[in-house]
Structure 1
Amino acid sequence: SGWRSTRWLATSQLLAVPPSSSLWPRSINPADKARRNQSSTRKAGATNGNRQQLNGHPASFRLKDCQPISLNIHPSQGGPPWRLACGADGPNMGSMQFLLPRREGLAELAVNCAYMIGNDGAPWETHVTYHSGRLTVSRDARESGRLIAPWTIAGCGQVALSTATLLPRDTPYHLVLELCRGTLSRILSQFAPSFLDQPAVHGAVSEAERHFVTAALSQHDIERCAREAEASLAICVNLIRKCLAPALKAQGPSNVCSRLTGFQIDSPRGLNSLLQSSRTLGNAVFYQSSWRETESNPGEFNWATWQRDLRRIRQSKRRAACGPLFRLNRHDLPDWLYLWEEDFDTLQSYVVNYVQKAVDALRGDVNLWYVTAGTNIESELQLGEEHRLRLTLSAIEALRRADAQTPALVGIRQPWGEYLGHAAIDLSPWQFADIVVRSELGISGFVLEMNIACTSDRTLPRDLLELNRLIDHWSTFGLPLVIQLAIATPGKAPVLGQPAGISTQTVQTVRDIVALLIQKPSVQGIIWGQFYDRADWKAGVITADGTPKAVLQTLADCWCRNNDT
């Protein structure tokens, strides 16, 4: 059939990115790409008579028709000419500009959350500003890269998407058009060709391409360009969800009897509610009692609460995971520890002593140690990344001196590395974890903390294709992964700033994420990170007044199904 070769030829034209950019990921074999292009070229000649129109556009449509159009004035804002705004020499080194359509809250969201990543996927420290309809993205190096930015997708809510590889230049890009280009390229390069050949999938991709072409030809009209690109994005993101879900079901039930499922509990109230619930709420509890309460004065320890609650967990026939033993935040650390903030050696000695005392006191009631959490990012305790890494390694070493047998996990916050886009930090999450593994201190696995929200201090929401890629990347360590998931979900009222229907979307998102994670052999645990809502983070499964949320039943169904498998 000729449609296949025509479609690939069309794709290479319609998705053409600006010069010096890259459409195909580096993992694509260049030889395979060359053979595919040659095959498409040969077959295209045989079908030339049938190519009078392509997705509603003339057969003469070529690469140049998709190049971004140079605009001196933002039509909807009446902004100043580009040269007047940036000076005669154009933008600063490594800067790009993106045109934004008129969408409530879009500019603020992009300024707070957008960042650049390199060809290796590692984020760069990025400075983002907004003025007169233009988003300016700056960094130190003048290298090509991809922009990660959240966008509201019809039927899916807010999703962080990636552009294709872009080169710094004077001419502004259309943000939503470039996000659409990048999303289409991910679908075409990461899904198998045989999968893309299926009629339903081919029809959806063709429809998305048609909207993308219309958007590319409408760059002189920012609002129309945005509408067409958003229509294409909605098709793409919903296609990823709809196509992955049946594939997961087709694989049949997984052997998840040994997987940890349950909740992170940090208060006696939460533990009481969990243990008294009539629902099947997992087979494990990650239990934490803060260091502040355990050692309110130096050297004065009170382990009674820990010991009582851990025994209750064991008596309920659940596995007891103790920790994290310490987090670098003010809520968990004792006040007196801040007196030693500028004396790292003394501070480190207190951390080591606390971990050793905890292991000695609790070892008989613990199935799993959760040593540290979030030490890969900046914290309220003013420590550099070298000191945070040393604290992590010292805590593991102290634990292993006292208990060499019980499995021990280290928590990694923001595993995609969003924090690197907003701070001068050298180590990516994966590099931080790699150093921990290479230290050979006996670490058993990692907890990937995904507190999902469109804010700079949380993990940005991603589609299932990107989540699948992340898990595969972290699986290269060959160590078990525990995913600690938390998403802000409304109770009776919607979350501030979110549409009223977000509750149903969030529940479906949770169901899709859990279904995907269950199919990954390296994922040995799925833990919901919060039981009760807090004032600053409403990601619990029960509201502060004790009302269960819809997401609780969703998780209960997943845990029950998993435990029955």
Structure 2
Amino acid sequence: MGVMRFTVHPPDLLEGLSATDMLYISGMDGRIYPTRGEWSDGVLACRRPLSDSGKLTVPFPHNQRGYSMLTSTSLREREEPYLLMIELARGALSSLRDQWAAWEMGHMAIPQVFRDLQSSAFSAFASACASQSDVDRACELARNAIEDTRRAANVLVDAYVIQRMTSLRRNSHLPTGLLGCALDPAALESQNSEFFLSAFTAAAIPISWKSIEPHEGNYHWDLADDLVEFAQQNRSVIKGGPLIELDDGGLPEWLAPWKNDLLNLPSFVCDYIETAINRYTGKVRIWDVSDFGNTGQALDLSEEHRLALVARTLEAAHRTDSDAQFFIGIDQPWGEYQRKGNHRLSPMQFADALVRSNLGLAGVTLHINTGYNGPATFPREMIQISRLIDLWSLLGIQIHVKLGCPSSPRHDPLADPRLSVNEQVGEEPWCEEAQSEWIERIVPLLLAKPAVTGVFIENFSDQHSHRFPHAGLLGADGHPKCQFAPLRRQKHQDLT
């Protein structure tokens, strides 16, 4: 059993952040170890199975809205506790300088504002390291270094997006990528359809097995047919699915008696895959075949059996329509779920196994969401999201991203009860303006990435059943939210 210790100062630094539940230690290869956090007299002890060097990732509160996950550099175990604030500043600054070097070698023009902020952050960090005999001063300087590093990172990312998008629009007459949203019945209303068409070039049509066949042999295709027809009439690119959802409760209830029959269960699944794809052959060319395969707990299937089942679904889908493009959904793409010790495969290992199997996998759909408690991704900075996409692009396949962010901290009765809006956001709670601001920053960043061929909003309306609370473009009362504005601007810029 390995243990790393960190002195937390000021003592209330991580108060209210559920830090012991969220923290984890990862290795040099990015693998996340099962990690348990314990408090004792202002010292945070992080326990894991191995004693190798590792990086601590922990939630860190910022001076403005909310918190994000910060990661230290690789540290060895030692008896004397590390000073947490200094190690987080070291990690943030190191990561920033690595990205700066990579983009500068790629001939990106680096703004002077970034250089000044980075220099200020480095000076504050150096002073903090030299002042560790005075813990109060060292932590104050380290916090200044973290905030300057954060501001510098935002400047660097903004410069990357501007330069990359300018280059794409100058050298190509095609849109940078699909910009879409998951449809629901609200989109079929005339006024709402105008809102949708003003902002998106693509439509994601939910064709979940649980909704389509709630009782064995009794199919409900009406809504899916109407949504596909709507998208066709308006010349939107259609993405169907996910067909199979492997999260807890994602499969039809009538399938439960077959959960231990590992020979016949795949036959039921593949039969639905073939039925759905055959129904929309020629209309739907892009499919999310399965979702939550890397994290799901459907029917208490083991990780090995889920991987085998996803492989079978891809095989069946490709056999049914070899001309279509098939994706799989990846939940929590940073791999936070591994910290609990219930999963052996990282998200990339799960996807890589399917890529190497040569089953016709065209790409992955990554779930990136912020502001939620429960089975969701932890909050990340834009530069961390950029590095995540760069990492996943190493697989050499397409990347789609599904986005979710709340517009209100209130309870959402139509959302997944396992998820709630994170209220630990400092003085500024989540609101429509905050949601719009996040969308305005992340969508251009994602579309600027060469490997990203599609970005999709989690759901269109909060009026109908949905997964993430208050993530829709329309409120529960049907009013259009502020995030329509940046999405419209993005579509207009892509088409001009």
TM-score normalised by structure 1 residue count? 0.77
| Cα distance in 2 for residues equivalent to 1:334 and 1:115 | 34
Aligned to 2:476: 544
Q: Distance in 1 between matches of 2:73 and 2:154?
A: 21
Contact 2:409 2:429 (C-alpha < 8 Å) held by counterparts = no
State the partner residue of 2:150. Answer: 237
| C-alpha distance in structure 1 between counterparts of 2:64 and 2:159, whole Å | 18
Q: Percent identity?
A: 28
Q: Is the 8 A contact 1:109 1:454 kept in 2?
A: no
Residue 345 (structure 2) pairs with residue 418 (structure 1): no
**CA offset digits 1:124-177 (Å, max 9, x no partner):** 111122343222211000000101112122346422111011112221122222
Query: What is residue 121 of structure 2 aligned with on the other side?
Result: 208
Residue aligned with 1:446, SS: strand
Counterpart residue type for residue 157 of structure 2: L
What's 1:500 paired with? 428
Larger Rg: 1
- Structure 2 Cα separation of the partners of residues 178 and 454 of structure 1: 26
2:452 matches 1:523: yes
Corresponding residue for residue 257 of structure 2: 339
Equivalent residue of 1:408, what SS? strand
Matches within 5 A, 1:150-189: 150-155=59-64, 157-189=66-98
- Cα deviation, residue 433, structure 1: 0.8
Tell me the distance in 1 between the aligned counterparts of 2:56 and 2:158. Answer: 27
SS at match of 1:475: helix
Q: Secondary structure at the match of 1:191?
A: helix
Residue 214 of structure 2 contacts residue 252 of structure 2 at CA under 8 Å; is this kept in 1? Answer: yes
Asked whether the equivalents of residues 153 and 383 of structure 2 are also in contact (C-alpha less than 8 Å), the reply is yes
2:20 aligned partner: 111
For the 8 Å contact 2:2–2:49, the answer to whether it is kept is: yes
How many pairs are equivalent? Answer: 472
Partner of 1:556: 488
Most deviating of 159-168 and 451-460: 451-460
Match of 1:268 in 2: 185
Please list the CA deviations of residues 162-203 of structure 1 after superposition, one character each: whole Å capped at 9, or x if unmatched.
Answer: 101111222112222211011111223331379899754343
3-state DSSP of counterpart to 2:365: strand
- Give the counterpart letter for 2:60 in structure 1: W
Tell me by how many angstroms 1:336 deviates: 1.2
Query: In 2 relative to 1, CA 118–295 (structure 1 residues): closer, same or farther, beyond 3 Å?
Result: same
Aligned-residue offset at 1:270:
4.6
User: 1:137 and 2:46 equivalent?
Assistant: yes
Partner of 1:246: 159
Matched, 1:488 2:406: yes
- Deviating 4+ runs (over 6 angstroms): 193-198, 491-495
CA distance in 2, matches of 1:201, 1:451: 27
Pick closer, same or farther for the CA change 1:178–1:166 going to 2, 3 Å. Answer: same
**Is the Cα contact below 8 Å between 1:93 and 1:140 reproduced in 2?**
yes
Query: Structure 2: which amino acid aligns with 1:496?
Result: E
Contact 1:100/1:135, CA 8 A, preserved across alignment: no
Aligned CA-pair RMSD? 2.7
Which residue identity is paired with 1:415?
A: P
Cα offset for 1:343? 2.4
Quick one: which amino acid aligns to residue 88 of structure 2?
Answer: L
Corresponding residue number in structure 1 for 2:235: 317
Q: What does the per-residue CA deviation read over 1:359-379, in whole Å, with 9 as the maximum and x for residues that have no partner?
A: 122223213111011101132
Residue 121 of structure 1 is aligned with which of 22, 27, 30?
A: 30
Q: Equivalent residue of 2:424, what SS?
A: coil
> In the alignment, what sits opposite 2:312?
394
Aligned match of 2:211 in 293, 296, 304? Answer: 293
* 3-state DSSP of counterpart to 2:139: helix
Counterpart position of 1:350: 268
- Where does structure 1 lack aligned partners over 5 or more consecutive residues? 1-91
The question of whether the paired residues in 1 share the 8 Å contact of 2:406 and 2:430 is answered with: no
Distance 1:196 1:182 in 2: 24
* CA deviation after TM superposition for structure 1 residue 234, in Å: 0.9
Distance in 2 separating the partners of 1:381 and 1:554: 40
Give, in whole Å, the separation in 2 of the partners of 1:523 and 1:102.
42
Q: CA offsets per residue over residues 427-465 of structure 1, 9 Å max, x none?
A: 111111111111111111111111224646222222233
TM-score normalised by the chain length of structure 2 = 0.87
How far residue 287 of structure 1 moved from its aligned partner, in angstroms, is 0.9
Unaligned runs of 5+ in 2: 412-420
The secondary structure found in structure 1 opposite 2:2 is coil
